[in-house]
Amino acid sequence: MTLLSQLIQYTISGLTGGSIYAVIGICWSVVYLISRVLNFTTGEFVMLGGMLTWGFYRAGLGLVSAAMLAVSTSIVIAMALERIAIRPLRFATEMVYMMVTIASASVIKGVILLTWGSETRTFDAFIGTRMIQIFGASLTPQIICVISLLIVITIGLSLFFNLTLFGKALRACAINLRGARLIGIDVSKFRLFCFGLAGGLGAITGIFITPITFTGYNIGLLAGLKGLVAAIIGGWNMVGTVLAALTLGLLEGFGAGFISAGLKDIFALLVMIIFLILRTLHFSYKPKIRRA
């Protein structure tokens, strides 16, 4: 391979990874902004999407209906999670929310392991497997699906948040929860909706990436955490998250290509830690300002 074809190969694989992290990052921020819950199950829904589709597909459904069934199951599970585990803990501290979502993630993961074992699974790509050749770089068509998924989700969500009344009310909640409650917005209903939205989007992402990266019971943690990296660096807003995720994906793509594929996950997490520490240097100590 020439250097040019290598560069193209790594760029495309980086963009693919970045798109995935972007959608997952959006899932984190949707839940975080509405409920201040850092939902550690986010990544597990990516795993659930892929695994459930595989399971339904194997049970005899068509790929499309299996996928739709998997997404709706994930949404139901996410909403159930909110109702069963998050909602009864009213006025809990951040730490309690964190423990509960970590615990729920481990439950989801364990149940899938128990049902379908620890092998990696996959199913057919959506639009064929014939490689596309660009300047000597060979790409699977599934990559096009993943990147267009990101575009569709970003455009769809921004239309939803900016044009519909429901979406605007959600943004109001994200800006000021108590204020939103005071003007009569039913925050608890919105929280349920956001958990469902995050679960559904996560599952869709999981379905789209399975033909490329394969899926297994234990992919959720890392996938989720990288989305979190993007959400944090992007400052919890959508544009920022997408930009951060694509940058992270590209860094990872080139890092995997030129340095070592085994270290790319470690590298992504290191980026997050370093970013978080650098962030404290700029905005060091900020107490609540009370003036008499």
Partner 1 sequence: MINKPLLSPLSWIIIAMLIALPFITSSSYILMVMVFVAIHGTLAIGMAILLEHAGIFSLAHPTWFGIGAYVAGILSVRQIVSPSFGVAFSAGVVALISYLIGAPILRLRGYYLACATFALLLIVEMSLGQLGSLTGGYEGLMGIPPLSVGTFTVKTDTQYYFLSWTLCLGCLWFLSNILNSRVGRAIRSFRDSEVASRSMGVDIPKYKLQIFVLTSVMAAIAGSIFCFYIRFTMPGMFGFPLLVELLTMIVIGGGRTLYGPLLGSFITIWLRELIHLYLGKIFPVMKAEVDAIFFGIIIVLILIFIPQGFAGGLERFFHSRSKAFARFQRAGK
Partner 2 sequence: MNNSFFEVIGLCKNFGGIQALNDINFFIEKEKITSLIGPNGAGKTTFINLVTGIFPPDKGKIYFRGENIAGLSAHLIASKGIGRTFQLEELFLSMTVLENVMMGCHARTRSGLFRCGFRISSARKEENFIREEAMGHLQLVGLEKKFSHPISALPLGERKLVGIARALAMKPKLLLLDEPVGGLAAHEIEKLINLFFMLLEKGITLLIVEHNMPFVMSISHRIIVLDGGSKIGEGFPEEVKMNKKVIEAYLGKEVY
Contact present, 86 and 35 (Cβ < 8 Å) = yes
Q: Is 285 in the site for partner 2 (CB under 8 A)?
A: yes
| Helix (H/G/I), strand (E/B), else coil: 186 | coil
State in angstroms the smallest separation of the CB of 288 from partner 2. Answer: 10
Per-residue binding letters, 62-91, with partner 1 (x by CB under 8 A): ----------------------xx--xx--
Which residues lie across from 137 on neighbouring strands? 134
| Helix (H/G/I), strand (E/B), else coil: 41 | coil
Q: Is 278 in the site for partner 2 (CB under 8 A)?
A: no
Which residues lie across from 134 on neighbouring strands? 137
Q: Which does 276 bind (CB under 5 to 8 A by kind): partner 1, partner 2, none?
A: partner 1
State in angstroms the smallest separation of the CB of 23 from partner 1. Answer: 19
Q: Which does 291 bind (CB under 5 to 8 A by kind): partner 1, partner 2, none?
A: partner 2
- Residues in the chain, overall count: 292
Contacting partner 1 within 135-194 (CB under 8 A): none
CA-based nearest residue to 123, from 16, 244, 210 = 210
**What are phi and psi for residue 133, nearest 5 degrees?**
-105, 120
Contacting partner 1 within 3-42 (CB under 8 A): 38
Q: Is 287 in the site for partner 2 (CB under 8 A)?
A: yes
Toward partner 1, which CB reaches closer, 183 or 281?
A: 281
Q: Is 3 in the site for partner 2 (CB under 8 A)?
A: no
240/230 Cα distance (integer angstroms): 8
Per-residue binding letters, 255-284, with partner 1 (x by CB under 8 A): -------xx-xx--xx-xx--xx-xx---x
The angle formed by the CA atoms of residues 147, 22 and 223, to the nearest 5 degrees, is 105
State in angstroms the smallest separation of the CB of 76 from partner 2. Answer: 40
Which helix or strand (DSSP H or E) is residue 139 part of?
Answer: strand 137-139
203/212 Cα distance (integer angstroms): 15
User: Is 257 exposed, middle or buried, given 0-12, 13-18 or 19+ CB atoms closer than 10 A?
Assistant: middle
* Stretch near partner 2 under the rule CB under 8 A, chosen from 111-119, 140-148, 215-223, 284-292: 284-292
Q: At what angle do helices 94-116 and 42-58 cross, to 10 degrees?
A: 20
- Pseudo-torsion of CA 188, 193, 199, 205, nearest 10°? -150
Q: Is 282 in the site for partner 2 (CB under 8 A)?
A: no
Q: Is 251 in the site for partner 1 (CB under 8 A)?
A: no
Given the rule CB under 8 A, which residues bind partner 1? 38, 84-85, 88-89, 92, 94-96, 98-100, 102-107, 109-111, 113-114, 117-118, 217-218, 221-222, 225, 228-229, 232, 262-263, 265-266, 269-270, 272-273, 276-277, 279-280, 284, 287
Given the rule CB under 8 A, which residues bind partner 2? 285, 287, 289-292
